[in-house]
Amino acid sequence: METIKIIVAGPRGRMGREAVQLIQRTDHFELEAVLDHKYNGILLSELEGFQGIDVPVYNDVDECLQKTKADVWIDLTVPEAGFLHTKKALEYGVRPVVGTTGFTEEQLKELKELANSKQIGCIIAPNFAIGAVLMMKFSQMAAKYFSDVEIIELHHDQKLDAPSGTAVKTAQMISTVREQKQQGHPNEKETISGARGANINGMHIHSVRLPGLIAHQQVMFGSEGQTLTIRHDSYNRASFMSGVKVSVETVTKLNDFVYGLENILE
Ligand code: NAP
């Protein structure tokens, strides 16, 4: 298998550290450089937890992309920076694999247009856990028969965006098969604002943030006399790495934009 040369943005983050480990243990992956907004001009091995990994650290995205010969840019940062990094990577002809969540619809549209016009593969996946992808698919199947659904997503309390990208993606997938419906009583009133959660196409999404949690989601369907609950739990960040691996391998063969891991799994 041909070696895939990779840059990781956000290497000190919880996901970034897992991604660096994944690259280190995968024979046909090679870490070329990292982008870290707090460090520049050092080797990664000088930072705690990266012993023996002698690749350059940049804090400027242009410099990083100009000085590094890479095939893939893995982004695991924050939405504002992640959007800029992804745009820059595409402009420099480096294929992005983006796990960073919290992009707006307009940003996703802009990235899609850029990737497609440049004919450069780009994968943005709000959830790299294979089990989460199946949860979304099973929910989409169930929504054909159950039109009433509420999504409860639960994450650690350091998460910046709400609702989660996975919850939004689940609602979007359900919307493709579900009849348009405004759920709940037509005269329903919130006595405390936000009590019924966010609303996507009439479906409600509730975001729970607590220390101790990692990434969890439960999709609850209800109809006359029955409920159906589909639930997925990620107990650690290693659960996302098989999805990152398959995305890196796939993006090198793509010439367009893909949103969601489910679109590349066979
Ligand atoms: P994290 O531990 O907070 O790591 C974020 C990293 O980004 C940190 O190293 C942080 O550095 C860095 N960062 C912050 N601001 C930056 C900037 N302006 N430019 C460049 N880097 C910056 O978060 P995480 O749990 O690893 O998650 C990272 C991203 O992945 C989030 O968007 C999260 O929602 C997403 N995520 C996706 C999946 C998936 O399956 N797709 C799964 C889990 C998480 P400092 O510490 O110095 O601020």
Residue type at 87? Answer: K
Judged on CB neighbours under 10 Å (0-12, 13-18, 19+), 21 is middle
Are 148 and 199 part of one and the same domain? yes
Q: Which residues are annotated as a binding site for NAD(+)?
A: 10-15, 99-101, 125-128
- If DSSP codes are grouped into helix, strand and coil, which group holds residue 106? helix
Q: Which residues are annotated as a binding site for NADP(+)?
A: 38
240 CA: nearest ligand 1 atom:
40
- If DSSP codes are grouped into helix, strand and coil, which group holds residue 77? coil
Q: 89 Cβ partners below 8 Å, 6+ apart? A: 7, 65, 73, 75, 95, 96
144 in active site: no
pLDDT along the chain (266 residues), means of 10: 96 97 98 98 97 98 98 97 98 98 95 98 94 95 95 96 93 92 90 96 96 97 97 94 96 96 87
Are 112 and 171 part of one and the same domain? no
Give pLDDT, residue 1. Answer: 83
Question: CA torsion angle for 52, 54, 55, 60 (degrees, to 10)?
Answer: 100
Residue type at 145? Answer: Y
Are 104 and 142 part of one and the same domain? no
Q: Are 55 and 32 in contact (CB under 8 A)?
A: yes
Range of the domain at 227: 130-234
Q: How many domains does the chain have?
A: 2
Are 199 and 147 part of one and the same domain? yes
Among protein residues, the one with the nearest Cα to ligand 1's atom 42 is 127
Span from the CA of 116 to the centroid of ligand 1 (angstroms): 26
Owner of token pair 């107990």: 235
Q: Are 13 and 34 in contact (CB under 8 A)?
A: no
Give pLDDT, residue 180. Answer: 81
Give pLDDT, residue 182. Answer: 83
Span from the CA of 111 to the centroid of ligand 1 (angstroms): 19
85 in active site: no
Among protein residues, the one with the nearest Cα to ligand 1's atom 1 is 13
